[in-house]
Structure 1
């Protein structure tokens, strides 16, 4: 029961953060599946992801493909999009960074290919292990 309440609180916080963003659009969450206690949601949420996370000169319109929350409170969010031709790198661009939001520090990993495919993964470790945790 404690894990369910923890998950609901984390989930509602995450949804509310994006629901009130300047580029927020309606969301559709569907339970995708369970694996080792983690809940996986498929999303159609869109956001202009900042160049601070992608390494590109400006934000890129991206769609949140997956959002996962584990019973321990760890969160993973995967975003996909296509960079405009003017922003595409000559060779694959990889950027690792951190992102702080709502008192949490997320580790991020972004890849942009010469064809323009952009992928950004944000991860939050609720237990504080691994160097990047509660912020």
Structure 2
């Protein structure tokens, strides 16, 4: 009887650990939003914002999703936004706009490309002066 109880308890413990391990692994796969590649922090998100016409060159802001945000150990930042322009705002020819954007005491250089099909990408880049110092 003791052996039966030990075997049953050990089996239950093993099954519980296996179930916990599987659920923990599944959760980890779903949450893969941050990784470190060559020392940089890469953050992928589904953050949405109406990106200003000042950055796109269009007549009004466009709803876009932040596809990637990267911060390097030196403090440089790159943020890539993607979206689709409403039909009434689409340019007849490719529209490219370079600009600057100030936010949180930092000045970002911006590059925007809008295609006639409506695909728009805005890349913001901040270059720090030295290791993590504001520029």
User: Offset of 1:127 from its aligned partner?
Assistant: 1.3
For residues 124 and 62 of structure 2, the distance between their equivalents in structure 1, rounded to whole angstroms, comes to 15
Q: How many residues align?
A: 102
- RMSD of Structure 2 on Structure 1 (CA): 1.6
The counterpart of 2:83, out of the listed 76, 81, 85, is 81
Q: Which residue of 2 aligns with 1:93?
A: 95
Cα deviation digits, residues 8-45 of structure 1 (max 9, x gap)? xxxxxxxxxxxxxxxxxxxx8811x3322111111110
Q: Which has the larger radius of gyration?
A: 2
The one-character-per-residue Cα deviations of 1:48-68 (angstroms, maximum 9, x if unpaired) are 000000000000000000000
Q: Name the structure 2 match of 1:66.
A: 68
SS in 2 for 1:53: helix
Q: Distance in 2 between matches of 1:78 and 1:36?
A: 19
| Counterpart position of 1:14 | none
2:113 counterpart residue number: 111
Between the aligned partners of 1:79 and 1:50, the Cα distance in structure 2 is 12
Matching of residues 1-135 of structure 1 within 5 Å: 30-31=33-34, 33-127=35-129, 134=135
TM-score by length of 2: 0.72
- Deviation string 1:82-114 (CA, Å, 9 cap, x unpaired) is 000010000000000000111100000000000
SS at match of 2:110: strand
8 Å Cα contact 1:29-1:44 kept in structure 2: no
Report the TM-score, using the length of structure 1 for normalisation. Answer: 0.72
Query: What runs of 5+ residues in structure 1 fail to find an aligned partner?
Result: 1-27
